[in-house]
């Protein structure tokens, strides 16, 4: 599956669908090859029925403001670029409104796949 992006500026945004106990949501996640794990804004997860405060798993995360511990939960299904994964672990973190995205799509989503980011034509391909 291929998707276009603006190769001259800004983030690479990937529309991503997540499913939870109360429904699903389409999120705008920034493709982040510097993030080993996928991060989703806590508010978005709560809106589809997850309660990150109940997660016994907390993962150490290094952010621009220091080291924090973020809840790790498994979403029932996540899909992007025509690829779906079930019981997928995501970190819950509150992002500032100025981020302009609902989270980060990290390397964990792409492992075992061929990911091509072609800046010459502004296209991302996952196969």
* pLDDT score at 2: 83
For 58, the token pair is: 């907390």
pLDDT at 95: 82
Radius of gyration of the chain (CA): 14
Looking at the structure of the chain, the number of domains it has is 1
Per-residue pLDDT tens for 46-84?
999 999 999 999 988 877 778 889 999 999 999 999 999
76's CB contacts (< 8 A; 6+ apart) are: 19, 20, 21, 86, 87
- CA-CA distances (angstroms) from residue 91 to 108, 118, 119, 123, 127? 11, 28, 28, 27, 25
For 82-109, the pLDDT digits (tens) are 999 999 999 999 888 888 999 999 999 9
Q: What is the CATH number of the domain that holds 120?
A: 2.40.70.10
Provide the pLDDT confidence category of residue 118 given band limits of 50, 70 and 90: very high
The whole domain housing 18 covers 2-126
């Amino acid at each position: 599956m291929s998707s276009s992006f603006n190769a001259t500026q800004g983030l690479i945004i990937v529309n991503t669908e997540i499913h939870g106990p109360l429904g699903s949501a389409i999120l705008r996640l920034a493709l982040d090859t510097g993030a080993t794990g996928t991060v989703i804004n806590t508010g978005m997860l709560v809106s589809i029925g997850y309660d990150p405060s109940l997660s016994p798993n907390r993962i150490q995360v290094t952010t621009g403001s220091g080291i924090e511990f973020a809840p790790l939960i498994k979403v029932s299904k996540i899909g992007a670029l025509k690829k779906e994964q079930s019981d997928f672990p995501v970190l819950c973190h509150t992002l500032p409104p100025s981020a302009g995205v609902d989270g980060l799509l990290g390397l964990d989503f792409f492992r075992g796949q061929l990911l091509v980011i072609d800046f010459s034509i502004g296209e991302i391909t996952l196969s």
